[in-house]
Amino acid sequence: MLCSELNLGQCKTYLLACENTRKAVLIDPLRERIDRYLAVLAYHGYRLEFILDTHTHADHRSGVWDLRELTGAQTVMHREAPAPRIDIHVEDGQELRLGKMVLTLMHTPGHTPDSISILAGERVFTGDTLLIGGSGRCDFAGGDPGAQYDAVMDGLFSLPDSTLVLPAHDYRGHDHSTIGAEKKSNTRFAGRSRADYIKLMNNLGLPLPQKIQEALQANQSAIEDESVNFPSIPQLSQVRQIEPLLLYEMLKQGEPPTLLDVREAEEFSGDLGHVGGSRLIPLKELPARAEELGIKNRPIVTICRAGMRSTTAAAILTGLGFDHVSNLKGGMLAWDDQKLPAER
């Protein structure tokens, strides 16, 4: 097995390849480094099979969609990832085969709800869940320090001590660690209770990454059209959220809200289906088609896969003067998990 970090910087992209079959996977590719990745693959004669993001990135644009288009490789993310055009949605314990190698996916949420780590032989790629001597922040939407503590202490720290730790970021010049070393010396976890960790992470007070708006919205929606103006982070945090069961009860009443699904057409009729009576207007088309929704004081509930794109849609509509807009919390994933009826 070949394993190489390709960026040579603080933000890490890993190439894993089976040298017998020449099949390869890229983990956490950056959009601005795609030419470099393609050159490395061509030089070694590797065929890219999978492109995998360990989570929805907030500090850089993901390269998964460009690489998918250029190579035909399959995109892979956790089932809670909000983005469209993901070919394989994985769950905890699921395996991917790469030639003679087996990659085991571990759901390690906390930094984001869709965070995963990838176990490949004696290596584990930990994304932003476990860093060398640290851990990823938990103050973005959906972050959960308690879930992150559990993911590390009960999940990653259950791996053999000799397992190499390869994170998605490092700011101190390290290129790897081991599970054993992190157990002993990572001050975020060593000697801390779950309550201690939650208190620590909730009071870090870190500044937001530069260009978070540009990166996060593009990575959540895969929309590259710069003419679509997305709302700011504070506006998104003000969107009203509605639980699936409450919406289900509202739909039984005499004057139910307008249901606006903002996914892509193939998602609308895909595995998760859609809530009966929903109207489909993809997010990228919403600013130009919002007037089709009619009266602005009528209640509207926006819907997508995981509740992220639809939060953006709700903020857009609110900014356009629609007075009573709510978002389906957790999207169709939450609706499906509660076994509520859907049309397919």
* pLDDT of amino acid 227: 65
User: Do 25 and 103 meet the contact criterion of CB atoms below 8 Å apart?
Assistant: yes
Determine the topology of domain 2-201 in CATH.
Answer: Metallo-beta-lactamase; Chain A (3.60.15)
Q: Is the pLDDT of residue 333 over 80?
A: yes
Task: Give me the pLDDT at residue 226, please.
Answer: 67
- Cβ–Cβ under 8 Å, residues 169 and 10: yes
CA 16, CA 20: separation in Å to the nearest integer? 12
Measured from the Cβ of residue 228, the count of other Cβ atoms closer than 10 Å reads 18
Mean of pLDDT over the chain: 95
Residue (of 280, 287, 246) closest to 260 by Cα position: 280
Distance CA 77, CA 91 (A): 9
Question: pLDDT class for 197, splitting at 50, 70, 90?
Answer: very high
Q: Of all helices (H) and strands (E), which one includes residue 246?
A: helix 244-250
Of the listed ranges 41-45, 92-96, 207-211, 223-227, the least confidently predicted one is 223-227
pLDDT > 70? residue 113: yes
pLDDT for the residue 88: 97
pLDDT tens by residue, 273-299:
999 999 999 999 999 999 999 889 999
How many Å apart are CA 98 and CA 95, to the nearest integer? 10
- Assigned token pair, 214: 């540009």
Tokens 């209640």 belong to which residue?
A: 299
Structure tokens at 49: 């099979």
Which of these CATH numbers, 3.40.50.10860, 3.90.1170.40, 3.40.250.10, 3.40.50.300, describes 225-337? Answer: 3.40.250.10
Each residue's pLDDT tens digit, 217-270: 899 998 877 667 788 888 888 999 999 999 999 999 888 999 999 999 999 999
Q: Where are the domains of the chain?
A: 2-201, 225-337
Between CA 161 and CA 167, with CA 165 as vertex, the angle to 5 degrees is 155
Higher pLDDT, 272 or 227: 272
Partner residues linked to 165 by β-bridges: 124, 177
Distance from C-alpha of 44 to C-alpha of 51, rounded to nearest angstrom: 17
Beta bridge partners of 71: none
| pLDDT (0 to 100) of residue 213 | 84
